[in-house]
A = this chain, B = another copy of it.
Amino acid sequence: MKAQALSSDRKEARENQTPSSGLFFKVKKVLYEKRSKFQKIEIIQNDFYGRVLFLDGLVQTTERDEFFYHEMLVEPALCSHPAPENVLVIGGGDGGALRHVLQHPVKKAWLVEIDEEVIKACEQYFPWLEASLSDPRAELAIADGFDFIQNTRDKFDVILVDSSDPVGPSAILHQRDFYFKLKKILKPGGIIAAQSGSQILHLKEHADKARFLKKMFKVSRFYSGPVPTYPVGTWCYNFLSDRIDPLKVKELRIPAGLKYYNEEIHRAAFALPVFFRQAIGLS
Judged by a CB distance under 8 angstroms, whether A272 is at the interface is yes
A249, chain B: closest CB distance, angstroms: 16
Q: Mark A267-283, 1 if CB is under 8 A from B, else 0.
A: 11111111101000000
Which residues of B are found within 8 Å of A28, using beta-carbon distances? 20
Main secondary structure of the interface of A (DSSP, over half): loop
Which residues of B are found within 8 Å of A25, using beta-carbon distances? 20-21
Q: Mark A249-270, 1 if CB is under 8 A from B, else 0.
A: 0000000001111101101111
Which residues of B are found within 8 Å of A151, using beta-carbon distances? none
Contacts of A241-255 to chain B: CB distance below 8 A: none
Contact pick for A271, options B19, B265, B275, B277, CB 8 Å: B265
Which residues of B are found within 8 Å of A20, using beta-carbon distances? 25-26, 28, 46-49
Judged by a CB distance under 8 angstroms, whether A178 is at the interface is no
The answer to whether residues A48 and B24 also contact, given A265-B271, A268-B268 and a CB cut-off of 8 A, is no
A228-B234, A264-B272, A265-B273 given. 10 additional CB < 8 A pairs?
A18-B48, A20-B48, A22-B24, A227-B233, A228-B233, A233-B233, A233-B234, A259-B273, A260-B275, A265-B272
Which residues of B are found within 8 Å of A14, using beta-carbon distances? 24
Q: Mark A27-62, 1 if CB is under 8 A from B, else 0.
A: 010000000000000000011110000000000000
Cα–Cα distance between A264 and B221 once the two chains are bound (Å)? 14
A239, chain B: closest CB distance, angstroms: 15
Cα–Cα distance between A18 and B229 once the two chains are bound (Å)? 12
Cα–Cα distance between A23 and B16 once the two chains are bound (Å)? 10
